[in-house]
Amino acid sequence: MVKKEEIPAATQLFTTDWVVRYLIDNSVGRYWVERNPESKLADELTYFVKPKDGEIKTVNEKITPQDVTVFDPCVGSGHFLVYAFDVLMKIYVEYGFSERDAAAEIVKNNLFGLDIDGRAAQLAYFAVMMKARQYDRRFFTRSIQPNVYEITESNGVDRSSIEHFYESDINLKKDVEAILDTLKDAKEYGSILKMPDVDYGNLNERFAQIENEISMYKTYLIGEFKTFIRSAEIMSGKYAVVATNPPYLNKYDAKLKEFVFSRYNLFKGDLFSVFMVHNISCCITNGYCAFMTPNVWMFISSYEETRKYILSNCSISSLVQIAKGSFFKEATVDVCAFVIANNKGEKGMYFRLEDFKADMDSQKEAFLSGLSSIDSCKYNYYVDSLNFSQVPGCPIAYWIKSPWFHSYKNYPIMRNVCVLKKGTSTGDNKKFIRQWFEIDIKKAFFLAHNPDEALASHKKWFPINGGGERRKWYGNRVDVVNWENDGSEMKRLATELNNGGHWSRYIINPDRFFTEAIGWSAISSSRISVRYVGYGFAFSSAAMEAFESDLKYILALLNSVVAEDILQLLAPTVNFGVEQIGKIPYIKDKAYEVDSLAEECIKISKNDWDSFETSWDFNFHPFIKVDRNHAYDGGAFAVANTAQYYEESPKASCPIEASFLIWKGECDTRFHQLKENEEELNRIFIDS
């Protein structure tokens, strides 16, 4: 939990210079160029992103440079405003202003900033003043003040002075009281406060009157209170561009938590998400919002409502996804930088810099390289934001091939055609789970088809699917679980852990134990791998399982490159939960052929798994050949004479080597057949 006074220190990050330039070039610069098609500004901006066809859209709207207003609601040290000043200067000079006159206009009319940290606001104020002086050496003598303010609270205002301010004017009093109520504890909330609709013109007229008064209240009202009202007015405004690096914070204190959960409940996952949504409301129609944020909002389920809000109301104009770890010198978070157009229907340019893992300087070079070769670059994508809404959860998966988006129109999703379940928590794996060769095998039962059969067996140990290493089709069948007497001992522990409450808080989906299933590891270090589980297994929280419908077909689909591609957008964190798998489109085609190939893949993989002693179906070492024309003790086993293979294999120096070569040949055959089957399955699903 972060306290109010700690929020500035916990959330302030310095935005990398080239990222600021990219964001401002493609918001401030773009806003001007779109409304002035004859402008040469785009050619002067290093990080300006042009569409693949080179044609920048035009907006039929006449504006002056003063209309390009820029607001940073988390101004920090003023990095965004200082670079925006340079871009605005180019606009003013192009429009015909001298640099000296332009500097004054920019400070008065274009740049606005707020921050809850008074020291940060002072730094930003100073930075804007120094930037203005860069263009006008006499600027300090012109009595022009930047519109950069600290957000202050109404908690300690001078009530007697304020009563003098509004006197008997009922409307003035109503407006002032509304602002005071809104800005109570304002340091806690910052610029996500929604300001009331008040008449600031009337308030400013009253300040002008007080300027000419001789009053004991004048100093406070013209100084501290006027600044207080001015910051409220800036917070109430609408701007052509809102550009910021919002605070990253998800550990709220009680007051901030109550505020966020009540006002921004759909977007409460992190403070940066709240700022994104609120800042869009601070932007005029057809304006731009430019952000650098953690990239988690693009994919994971807790930010789904944020994505839906953006895609329903806006378009992503451009986005740069920074490679994992590249921003770690500044903060241990993976980030993206992006520009949102406050309108719908635009295509956007996306840059995926995942393959350039280094620091932010390397990311800059990769971005500029992609920008200079926009037509041939392999890591930029020109995508319509509306595509993302076709996929459940609306992930911002710009790199996915367009056929996968269309598959959602033509096929149901997985959760609508089969039952998907998460496994149970034992409460104490060391107590309840063993490997099968550690137990008394006479107390184990491997053939249960449902919980009733398991109970009727009066056995203690039963197979359990615990996920395991990456392996497709079949295998990872090593663990057993104590489920004696319908798991009575585990249920007792679960009840204790739940302080006497029902055991179902920990032990979930036991009604699905031992029924036919396919399964996979809930978390993987790479790609998903799905196995046929069959009957007889419980399943742990480390595993997920699918039941009931078309299991072998679904097994083949989930093990295909099609599912692998789609999971890049549904599960970028390689967390393959029920939610992620349930959103995969159920692409149904050539069912008989797919089922046959899947069965053969299961058989091949089973033969491989059973070749080793760790399998409970292991019969004999693979070096020993079986002569199926002989039998002993009623079984279909006989040890063949390996010498015959020794004689027929000139490469072998002894019978053991001959046996190894035979086994190696069988493994190679299995591998190539499995590979051939998987390639055929991939072709079927890709062509569907």
Backbone angles phi, psi at 585, to 5 degrees: -65, 135
Q: What is the mean pLDDT of residues 120-134?
A: 95
* Rg over CA atoms, the chain: 33
What pLDDT score was predicted for residue 625? 57
Instruction: Report the share of the chain in percent with pLDDT over 70.
Output: 92
Q: Are residues 472 and 618 in the same domain?
A: no
In terms of Cβ atoms closer than 10 Å to its own Cβ (0-12, 13-18, 19+), residue 375 is: exposed
Of 256, 270, 345, the closest CA to residue 306 belongs to 270
Q: Are residues 572 and 652 in the same domain?
A: no
Q: Strand (E) positions, 385-525?
A: 419-422, 433-435, 461-465, 479-482, 517-521
What pLDDT score was predicted for residue 328? 59
The label of the residue with tokens 């004991």 reads 216
Helix axes of 79-95 and 17-24: crossing angle, nearest 10 degrees: 40
For residue 302, is it within any domain?
Answer: no
The 10 Å Cβ neighbour count of residue 50 is 17
Is the C-alpha dihedral spanning 140, 142, 144, 145 positive or negative? positive
Q: Are residues 561 and 616 in the same domain?
A: no
- Check whether 22 has a pLDDT greater than 70: yes
What is the C-alpha to C-alpha distance for residues 520 and 653, in angstroms, rounded to an integer? 43
Strands 111-115 and 70-72: parallel
- 269 SS3 class: coil
Contact 105, 92 (CB under 8 A): yes
- Check whether 9 has a pLDDT greater than 50: no
- 637 SS3 class: coil
What pLDDT score was predicted for residue 331? 53
Residue 14 pLDDT grade (very low, low, confident, very high; cuts 50, 70, 90) = low
What is the C-alpha to C-alpha distance for residues 255 and 4, in angstroms, rounded to an integer? 9
Distances (CA, A) of 423 to 214, 452, 468: 76, 19, 13
Q: Are residues 524 and 555 in the same domain?
A: yes
What pLDDT score was predicted for residue 638? 34
What pLDDT score was predicted for residue 602? 95
What is the C-alpha to C-alpha distance for residues 297 and 573, in angstroms, rounded to an integer? 12
Tokens of 614: 């760790």
The full length of the chain comes to 688
What pLDDT score was predicted for residue 5? 52
Q: Are residues 553 and 654 in the same domain?
A: no
For residue 597, is it within any domain?
Answer: no
The 10 Å Cβ neighbour count of residue 440 is 8
Q: Are residues 520 and 460 in the same domain?
A: yes
The label of the residue with tokens 């859209």 reads 57
- Check whether 245 has a pLDDT greater than 80: yes
Of 438, 491, 492, 433, the closest CA to residue 462 belongs to 433
**Of the spans 368-372, 497-501, 565-569, which averages the highest pLDDT?**
497-501
Is the C-alpha dihedral spanning 230, 293, 380, 387 positive or negative? negative
Side by side, the strands of the sheet bearing 147-150 are: 147-150, 111-115, 70-72, 239-244, 283-294, 335-341, 315-321, 347-352, 380-384
Give Cα 159 distance to the centre of its chain: 47
What pLDDT score was predicted for residue 642? 45
For residue 304, is it within any domain?
Answer: no
Contact 677, 552 (CB under 8 A): no
Higher pLDDT, 96 or 565: 96
What pLDDT score was predicted for residue 293? 93
Contact 46, 25 (CB under 8 A): yes
What pLDDT score was predicted for residue 654? 72
Q: Identify the H or E element spanning 218.
A: helix 218-220
For residue 647, is it within any domain?
Answer: yes
Higher pLDDT, 640 or 427: 427
Q: Are residues 539 and 458 in the same domain?
A: yes
Q: What is the mean pLDDT of residues 76-93?
A: 96
What is the C-alpha to C-alpha distance for residues 217 and 203, in angstroms, rounded to an integer? 16
The 10 Å Cβ neighbour count of residue 378 is 9
Domain end, chosen from 227, 253, 282, is at 227
What pLDDT score was predicted for residue 39? 94
The label of the residue with tokens 């190539």 reads 672
Q: Which pLDDT tens digit goes with each residue over 620-646?
A: 777 775 443 333 333 333 334 444 444
* Range name among 277-281, 567-571, 684-688 with the lowest pLDDT average: 567-571
The 10 Å Cβ neighbour count of residue 297 is 23
What is the C-alpha to C-alpha distance for residues 437 and 392, in angstroms, rounded to an integer? 43
Higher pLDDT, 674 or 324: 674
**Residue 177: which residues within 8 A CB-CB, separation 6 or more?**
none
Count of domains forming the chain: 3
Tokens of 640: 């063949």
For residue 102, is it within any domain?
Answer: no
As a whole number, the mean pLDDT across the chain is: 88
For residue 594, is it within any domain?
Answer: no
Side by side, the strands of the sheet bearing 433-435 are: 433-435, 479-482, 461-465, 538-539
At 573, the amino acid letter reads T
Q: Identify the H or E element spanning 240.
A: strand 239-244
* CA contacts within 13 A on the Cβ side of 247: 26
Give the chain's count of helices (H) and strands (E).
27, 17
Give the range of the structural domain holding residue 625, as residue numbers without chain letter: 607-687
Domain end, chosen from 539, 562, 589, is at 589
If you ran DSSP here, which 8-state letter would residue 541 be given? Answer: T
What pLDDT score was predicted for residue 635? 32
**Residue 462: which residues within 8 A CB-CB, separation 6 or more?**
444, 445, 446, 448, 454, 480, 481, 483, 513, 514, 536, 537, 538
Contact 546, 528 (CB under 8 A): no
Domain end, chosen from 227, 255, 281, is at 227
The 10 Å Cβ neighbour count of residue 93 is 15
Give Cα 109 distance to the centre of its chain: 37
* Range name among 77-81, 400-404, 523-527, 629-633 with the lowest pLDDT average: 629-633
What pLDDT score was predicted for residue 332? 64
* Range name among 257-271, 292-306, 326-340, 544-558 with the lowest pLDDT average: 326-340
For residue 515, is it within any domain?
Answer: yes
The 10 Å Cβ neighbour count of residue 236 is 17
- Check whether 13 has a pLDDT greater than 70: no
What pLDDT score was predicted for residue 643? 47
Biggest distance spanned by C-alpha atoms of the chain: 119
Q: What is the mean pLDDT of residues 527-538?
A: 93
What is the C-alpha to C-alpha distance for residues 245 and 327, in angstroms, rounded to an integer? 13
Q: Are residues 584 and 675 in the same domain?
A: no
- Domain harbouring 420, CATH code: 3.90.220
What is the C-alpha to C-alpha distance for residues 210 and 217, in angstroms, rounded to an integer? 9
Q: Are residues 640 and 668 in the same domain?
A: yes
Of 335, 323, 260, the closest CA to residue 297 belongs to 335
What pLDDT score was predicted for residue 629? 37
Q: Which pLDDT tens digit goes with each residue over 322-372?
A: 887 776 565 567 889 999 999 987 889 999 988 777 778 888 888 888 888
Q: Are residues 507 and 536 in the same domain?
A: yes
The 10 Å Cβ neighbour count of residue 540 is 21
If you ran DSSP here, which 8-state letter would residue 458 be given? Answer: T
For residue 409, is it within any domain?
Answer: no
What pLDDT score was predicted for residue 473? 95
Q: Which pLDDT tens digit goes with each residue over 382-395?
A: 988 888 888 888 88
Q: Which pLDDT tens digit goes with each residue over 437-466?
A: 999 999 999 999 999 999 999 999 999 998
- 545 SS3 class: strand
Higher pLDDT, 126 or 397: 126
Tokens of 578: 């029920």
What pLDDT score was predicted for residue 666? 80
Q: Are residues 437 and 565 in the same domain?
A: yes
- Check whether 310 has a pLDDT greater than 50: yes
If you ran DSSP here, which 8-state letter would residue 16 be given? Answer: P
Q: Are residues 528 and 612 in the same domain?
A: no
